[in-house]
């Protein structure tokens, strides 16, 4: 179930989160509103402490951001992932096709939001915001699912913990051309 070896003092924090999140999913099923309300509280508690994430899941790469699988539910109802960003790194504009929560553990992230404009068949920027340590952002096809994320720090590493409504590394999603809105399928996989 857990990927890699855990060498840390407070590994129980992640284990408690996984146990509580599993109970939440068993209780509410696919009720996104309940998942967001109760799941956001659970994720906020987890990222409220920075003493549990194993070092091997905090390593940046000079080439691109890293997406490390921490846990995938055996039924693929949810996955927990750490994203690690070196300065200047960014994702392409992409969607998720499932619900997701993003909690910033270290540093800060910038999120640029988009939506498809069906009349013009292009993407339209709808806003942007910065997420400091402790902030939790929500995405889903229902509330807004297309964005680009980047490290908001010019001189430091940022790390966020993501929880998705599926095995996000295996879910077929899309990247978008910002100018044309053309989307292409992709599967992200994991860095570990």
Whether pLDDT at 2 is above 80: no
Residues 6+ apart with CB under 8 A from 162: 80, 81, 82, 83, 100, 101, 102, 103, 168
Taking residues 8-17, report their average pLDDT.
Answer: 85
pTM of the model: 0.92
Whether pLDDT at 180 is above 90: no
- Model confidence pLDDT, tens digit, residues 38-53: 999 999 999 999 999 9
Q: How far apart are the C-alpha atoms of 115 and 137, rounded to whole Å?
A: 17
Residues 6+ apart with CB under 8 A from 158: 84, 85, 104, 106, 107, 108, 109, 151, 152
54-186, CATH topology level: Jelly Rolls (2.60.120)
| Domain assignments of the chain as residue spans, ordered by start | 54-186
| Lowest-pLDDT choice from 7-16, 56-65, 175-184 | 7-16
């Amino acid at each position: 179930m857990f990927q890699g070896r855990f060498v840390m003092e407070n590994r129980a924090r992640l284990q408690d989160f996984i146990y509580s999140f599993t109970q939440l999913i068993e209780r509410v099923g696919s009720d996104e509103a309940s998942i967001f309300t109760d799941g956001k509280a659970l994720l906020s508690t987890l990222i409220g402490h920075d003493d549990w994430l194993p070092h091997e899941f905090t390593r940046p790469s000079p080439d691109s951001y890293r997406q490390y699988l921490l846990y995938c539910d055996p039924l693929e109802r949810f996955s927990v992932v750490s994203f690690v960003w070196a300065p200047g790194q960014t994702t392409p504009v992409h969607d998720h096709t499932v619900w997701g929560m993003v909690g910033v553990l270290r540093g800060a992230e910038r999120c640029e939001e988009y939506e498809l404009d069906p009349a013009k068949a292009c993407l339209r920027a709808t806003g942007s915001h910065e997420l400091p340590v402790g902030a939790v952002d929500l995405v889903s096809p229902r509330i807004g699912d297309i964005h680009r994320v980047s490290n908001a720090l010019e001189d430091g590493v940022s790390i966020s913990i993501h929880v998705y409504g599926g095995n996000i590394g295996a879910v077929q999603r899309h990247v978008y051309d910002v100018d044309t809105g053309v989307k292409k399928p992709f599967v992200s996989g994991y860095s570990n």
